[in-house]
Structure 1
Amino acid sequence: MPTPVESGTSELRDPRDPRDPFDVAVVGAGPAGLAAAVTAAAGGRSVLLLDAGERPGGQFWRHPPPAPGSAEGEDTVRVHHDGARFAALRRALAHHVARGRLTHRPGHQVWLVTRDEDGFLIESTPVHPGTAPVTRRARARALILCPGAADRQLPVPGWTLPGVMAAGGAQALWQGQRALAGRRVLVAGTGPFLLSVAGGLAEAGARVVGVWEAGSPRAWASRLPAVARVPAKAVEGLGHVATLARHRVPYLTRTVVREVLGEDRVRAARPARLDAAGRPGPAGDEVPVDLVALGWGFTPSLELPLQLGAATRLDADGSLVVTVDDEQRADIPGLWVAGEATGVGGAALGVAEGTLAGLSAAGRPTEGRAARRLRARIAAHRAFARAMHLAHPVPAGWSDWLRDDTVVCRCEEVDAATVRAAHDTLGADDARTVKMLTRCGMGWCQGRVCGLATALLASHHAGRAPTEADLAATAARPLAFPVTLGELAELGDEEGGFGGDAVGAGEG
Structure 2
Amino acid sequence: MTADLAVVGAGPAGLTAAATAARLGLRVTLLDAGERVGGQIHRHAAGGPVPRAARRLVRRLNGVTHLPAHHVWTVVPDGDTWLLHAVVGPGEAPAAVRARAVLLATGAYERQLPFPGWTLPGVVGAGGAQAMLKGGLALPGTGASPARSEPGARGRIVVAGSGPLLLAVATTLAAAGARVPALVEAAGYTAYARHFAALARNPAKLAQGALHGGALLRRATRLLTRHAVTAAHGTTRVEAVTVTRLDADWRPLPGTGRRIPCDVLAVGHGLVPQLELATGLGCATRRTPDGTPALEVDAEQRTSVPGIWAAGETCGTGGAGLARTEGEIAALSVAGRHSTALARRRARLRAFADAMAAAHRPGPGWTDWMDGTTEVCRCEEVTADRVREAVTDLGARDARSVKLLTRAGMGWCQGRVCGPAVARLAGEDPAPDRRPLSCPVPLSQLAQPPGAER
Give the TM bin, normalised by the shorter chain.
over 0.9
Number of equivalenced pairs: 439
**TM-score normalised by length of structure 1:** 0.84
- Structure 2 match to 1:333: 306
Distance 1:495 1:197, change over 3 A: closer
State yes or no: 1:42 paired with 2:23: yes
Once the two structures are TM-superposed, the CA of residue 348 in structure 1 deviates from its matched residue by: 0.5
Q: Aligned residue for 2:413?
A: 445
Q: Deviations over 1:8-59 (max 9, x none)?
A: xxxxxxxxxxxx3111000000010001111111111110000011111100
Residue in 2 that maps onto 1:264: 236
The equivalent residue for 1:26 is 7
Displacement after TM superposition at 1:452 (Å): 1.2
Q: CA deviation at 1:276?
A: 3.0
Q: Counterpart of 1:144?
A: 103
Equivalent in the alignment of 2:146: none
Q: Distance in 1 between matches of 2:442 and 2:450?
A: 19
Alignment of 1:212-361 (within 5 A): 212-282=184-254, 284-361=257-334
3-state SS of paired residue (1:207)? coil
Among 130, 134, 137, which residue is 2:93 paired with? 134
Deviations 1:281-304 (A, max 9, x none): 236232111110111010000010
| Aligned CA-pair RMSD | 1.5
Residues 147 and 217 of structure 1, relative CA distance in 2, 3 Å threshold = same
Aligned with 1:252: secondary structure? strand
What aligned pairs does 1:404-415 form with structure 2 within 5 A after superposition?
404-415=372-383
Within 5 Å, give how 1:5-16 maps onto structure 2: none
> 1:178 Cα deviation (Å)?
4.1
Given residue 298 of structure 1, which amino acid in structure 2 is its aligned partner?
L
- Residue 406 (structure 2) pairs with residue 434 (structure 1): no
Whether 1:155 and 2:155 are equivalent positions in the alignment is no
The answer to whether the 8 Å contact 1:189/1:214 transfers is: yes
Q: Give, in whole Å, the separation in 2 of the partners of 1:385 and 1:293.
A: 23
| CA displacement, residues 257-299 of structure 1 (integer Å, 9 cap, x when unaligned) | 1100011111110111012332112362321111101110100
**Residue pair 1:114, 1:307 contacting (<8 A) in 2 also:** no
- The one-letter amino acid of 2:286's match is R
Q: Tell me by how many angstroms 1:439 deviates.
A: 1.6
After superposition, the C-alpha distances for 1:65-124 in whole angstroms (9 at most, x for unaligned) are 344xxxx41xx23xxxxx3xx22112112xx1xxxx210011111111111222111111
Name the counterpart of 2:85: 123
- Could you tell me how far 1:497 is from its partner in structure 2? 7.3
CA distance in 2, matches of 1:497, 1:337: 28
Aligned-partner Cα distance in 2 for 1:374–1:356: 7
1:207 aligns with 2:179: yes
Report the AA paired with residue 12 of structure 2: P
Q: CA deviation at 1:426?
A: 1.6
Amino acid of the residue matched to residue 343 of structure 2?
A: R
| 2: CA distance, partners of 1:343 / 1:495 | 32
The structural deviation recorded for 1:446 is 0.9
Gaps of 5+ in 1: 1-19, 78-82, 460-464, 499-508
Deviation at residue 496 of structure 1 after TM alignment: 6.7
Q: CA deviation at 1:251?
A: 0.4
Q: TM-score, normalised by structure 2?
A: 0.94
> Aligned partners of 2:309, 2:362: CA distance in 1, in Å?
30
Distance 2:215 2:392 in 1: 48
Match of 1:357, SS? helix
| Deviation at residue 219 of structure 1 after TM alignment | 1.1
Partner-residue secondary structure (3-state), 1:59: coil
